[in-house]
Amino acid sequence: MNSGPTLFLGLFVAMACSWLSFVLGPQLQIGDMRPTTNIVVGASGQIYPNPEPGLAHQGAEVYRADGCASCHTEQVRPRDLGSDINRGWGVRRSTGYDYLFDQPVLLGTLRVGPDLANAGRRMDAAAVLLRLYEPRALTPGSIMPPSPFLFDKRKIQGAPSPDALQIPGPFAPPRGYEIVPRAEARALAAYVTSLHQDGYLFEAPPPLQPAGKTNAPAKPATNSPAK
């Protein structure tokens, strides 16, 4: 190994191995995935996934900009790996199909907060907005950072705004004021409520339940406050 060219040739081969197997190979296999009709339940002409509404796409940009993926994953692991499904974070494992319309695709690497792959099935927009404004209003002791910069605190003039948050208890604004979500907050809430991965695919069928049990997803224990 005393000649530069030999060294570079060897490095090139090693690098190429890694690149071919982790970039080019997967790209050839799943890079041009299309929405599928390969659905187990309700297969009559349905395709999965469906594009999300435009507001949700704008919300994905807010999700990216504020680094939400630092604490939240968007992927459900298979039943034999971890308790994702038993926790009610999903009814099946995530597959490549679930991300076809996402841009950017931020799966996350750390679960400081709960997984959001199926957040749209657990929360409505009002709950998401309230969590964004003051997470502790719904989950006492939550360590999620509040994001008041996504909201306007306004003096109520005339009738209160129909969009104003209904904030319980100690976090409510002073009398005569209201908290109204800005466009970013509404987009982010639309994005989070659009998240769902529940088309049953052949690749990831619904779990087989023993007779007598229902096929319903487990009770979502994730966001309920501690007892």
Partner 1 sequence: MSVTAPAQSAPSQSATADIEASCRWPLLALFGGAVLWLLLGLIFALIASLKFHNPHFLYSQSYLTYGRVRLAHQTALLYGFAVPAALGVGLWLLCRLGRSPLPAPGVALIGVILWNIAVLIGVAAILCGDSSGFESFAMPGYVTVILLVSYLLIALCGLLAFHRRAEGPLYPSQWFVLGAFFWFPWIFSTASMLLLCLPVRGVMQASIAWWYAHNFSSIVLGYFGLSSIFYFIPKLLARPLHSHYLAALAFWTLALFGSWGGIPTGAPLPSWIVSMGVVGAVLTAVPLLAVFVNFYHTARHNVEALDAHLTLRFTYVALVFWLIAGMQQIVGVLPNVSALTDYTWFSVAQWELFHYGFFALAMFGAIYYIVPRLLDRADPPVWSPGLVQAHFWPTFFGILISYIALLVGGVGQGFLLNDPNYTFAQVTRGTLMALRADTLGDLCIVVGTLFFLLNFALLLSRFACRRWTDLRKGAA
Judged by CB under 8 A, the chain residues 33 through 62 that form the site for partner 1 are: 33
Q: How far is CA 67 from the centre of its chain?
A: 13
Q: Where are the beta strands (DSSP E) in 94-175?
A: 151-155
Q: Does 160 bind partner 1 (CB under 8 A)?
A: no
Pairing of strands 151-155, 177-181: antiparallel
Q: Which of residues 125-154 bind partner 1 (CB under 8 A)?
A: 135-136, 139-150
Query: Residue 175 and residue 159: Cα distance in Å, rounded?
Result: 14
**Cβ–Cβ < 8 Å for 145, 124:** no
The reply on whether position 94 binds partner 1 by CB under 8 A is yes
Nearer to partner 1 by Cβ, of 188 and 190: the residue is 188
Pick the stretch among 21-29, 38-46, 118-126, 162-170 that binds partner 1 (CB under 8 A): 21-29
Number of helical H runs and strand E runs in the chain:
6, 2
Touching partner 1, residues 191-220 (CB under 8 A) = 218
Cβ closest to partner 1, residue 15 vs residue 183: 15
Q: How many CB atoms lie within 10 A of CB 223?
A: 17
How many residues sit close enough to partner 1 to count as binding (CB under 8 A)?
88
Tell me which of 44, 45, 104, 175 binds partner 1, using CB under 8 A.
104
